[in-house]
Amino acid sequence: MTDRDLSQLAFDQKHLWHPYTNVTKPGPTFLVKESEGLFITLDDGTRLIDAMSSWWCMMHGHRNPAITRAIHDQLDRLPHVMFGGLTHDPAVDLGRKLLEITPASLTRIFYCDSGSVSVEVAMKMAVQYQHAVGFPGRSKFATIRSGYHGDTWKAMSVCDPDTGMHHLFQGALSVQHFVSRPPVTIGQDWDEDPARNGLGELRAVFEAHAGEIAAFILEPVVQGTGGMYFYHPDYLNGARALCDEFGILLIFDEIATGFGRTGELFATDFCAVEPDIICLGKGLTGGHISFACTMTNDRVAEGVGGGNPGIFMHGPTYMANPLACAAAQASLDLLTGQDWRGTVAGIAAQMEQELAPARALPNVRDVRVLGAIGVIEMNHRVSADEAHARAREMGVFLRPFGNNIYCMPPFVTDPDSLGRITAGMLRLAREL
């Protein structure tokens, strides 16, 4: 039999790599034919509710008409043009919109292709800034454990050193400074004692290594892939003060938390501080096309611009792709044109109620909800492939990782569908 005769799935299993999988021993994979709203339709007609928002980005549902229309219209005018020496309405209009909704001090926007790249860009900006203002030795980064910032080299270097597989790439990864994840959770009262709130440890690292640290990078309030952990926003206030004291830049990676997912428009809105650099991605285009951006303040922009060589050393081929800009603008209009806060609060309240029974199950360590993020943390690893198959029987697409059975439903999820998602999660928690 030649490869031409293989079924679609057989060809896929033989030749295509999937995210974080064994290419020679692939797990169960379903062939998707189309998607609409909450549903992914498989080739046999099975319809599954996408409880993951397709890796947390499809927040207005699949094939959202406003977003697909924006892409169609843009496709007929200008699908792409290089951004060197040229600009276009979609880039400018999206920029205006982003400035409206993000912290006021973030005034400069760098458009790029994916979240990982936006993190690379943020880290390069920080290093170039420190170089420009007279600290060429400041080229490393500090971060908190259990973080996740993407799969490219520099982003990977600030992912959790244990789950981020540093041992595998040892020698090839830059060594960074890690502190414990903030110990006070978002539900607890803030503890002012630096010995107990994590800020004492951060100060100690800054005191010992400030001369070599360009920036402190972290996911504000919600750590996603690194463990679905929600910590107290006051940690960020303390971190901001320490960064200012030691001349270290503060980078918020809001790729997972941005655009209402946590119940605030951005997780930085939980606290009074603004970062020097922010990374946005995932939900930026409502999940319809790959896109991300890195935004910074005048201080960093003027530092980089005033240094030598002055130019910022990055420029992707598809920078500010007009299709992606148009999709992002449509997605942001959808978001800000609705009562997103009420919607997310409704999803949170229902998840709180429906996931609560999991607390009584023998292998459950914790149940937590923040905004439209629901997590059942088990005290053992959960097989994603097993979960995948069982959730499918329940008409839901769920893909746990590590110990966490979790969902990030699209904001358009109706109560009945959300009920099916939480029922699916409870079943997995009982059976796996």
Ligand X SMILES: *Cc1c(COP(=O)(O)O)cnc(C)c1O
Asked if 380 and 402 touch (Cβ cutoff 8 Å), the reply is no
Q: Which residue is nearest to ligand X (CB)?
A: 115
Catalytic residue check, 111: no
Nearer to ligand X, 159 or 351 (CB): 159
> Cβ 359 to ligand X, closest distance in Å?
27
Q: Would you state the structure tokens that stand for residue 215, as one six-digit string?
A: 């920036």
Q: Which amino acid is at 266?
A: F
> Cβ 287 to ligand X, closest distance in Å?
11
Active-site entry in 129, 148, 231, 406: 148
Nearer to ligand X, 238 or 281 (CB): 281
Active-site entry in 231, 234, 282, 406: 282
The crossing angle, in degrees rounded to 10, of helices 384-393 and 415-431 is: 130
**115 a known binding residue?**
yes
Nearer to ligand X, 91 or 255 (CB): 255
Catalytic residue check, 235: no
Task: Indicate the SS3 state at residue 370.
Answer: strand
> Cβ 110 to ligand X, closest distance in Å?
15
Nearer to ligand X, 74 or 114 (CB): 114
Active-site entry in 50, 113, 234, 253: 253
* Residue-wise DSSP of 169-237: HTTTSPP-EEEPPPSSBTTSPP---HHHHSHHHHHHHHHHHGGGEEEEEE-SSEE-TTT-EEB-THHHH
Instruction: Tell me the helices (H) and strands (E) count for the chain, helix number first.
Output: 15, 16
> Cβ 149 to ligand X, closest distance in Å?
5
> Cβ 68 to ligand X, closest distance in Å?
21
User: In a 10 Å sphere around its CB, with 0-12 CB exposed, 13-18 middle and 19+ buried, how is residue 247 labelled?
Assistant: middle
What is the rounded CA–CA span in Å between residue 171 and residue 168? 9
**253 a known binding residue?**
yes
- Interface with ligand X by CB under 6 A: which residues? 114-116, 119, 148-150, 219, 224-225, 253, 255-256, 281-282
What is the rounded CA–CA span in Å between residue 131 and residue 152? 23
**139 a known binding residue?**
no
- Helix, strand, coil content of the chain in percent (nearest 5): 40, 20, 40
> Cβ 47 to ligand X, closest distance in Å?
26
Going from the C-alpha of 348 to that of each of 65, 235, 365, 372, the distances in angstroms are: 26, 23, 20, 6
Catalytic residue check, 406: no
Active-site entry in 20, 76, 189, 416: 20
**399 a known binding residue?**
yes
User: In a 10 Å sphere around its CB, with 0-12 CB exposed, 13-18 middle and 19+ buried, how is residue 139 labelled?
Assistant: middle
Task: Indicate the SS3 state at residue 287.
Answer: coil
Nearer to ligand X, 253 or 276 (CB): 253
Nearer to ligand X, 153 or 190 (CB): 153
Tell me phi and psi for residue 68, to 5 degrees.
Answer: -65, -35
Tell me phi and psi for residue 313, to 5 degrees.
Answer: -85, 65
Catalytic residue check, 33: no
Residues of each annotated binding site: 55, 115-116, 148, 253, 282, 315-317, 399
Residues of each annotated binding site for pyridoxal 5'-phosphate: 115-116, 253, 316-317
- Annotated catalytic residues are 20, 148, 253, 282
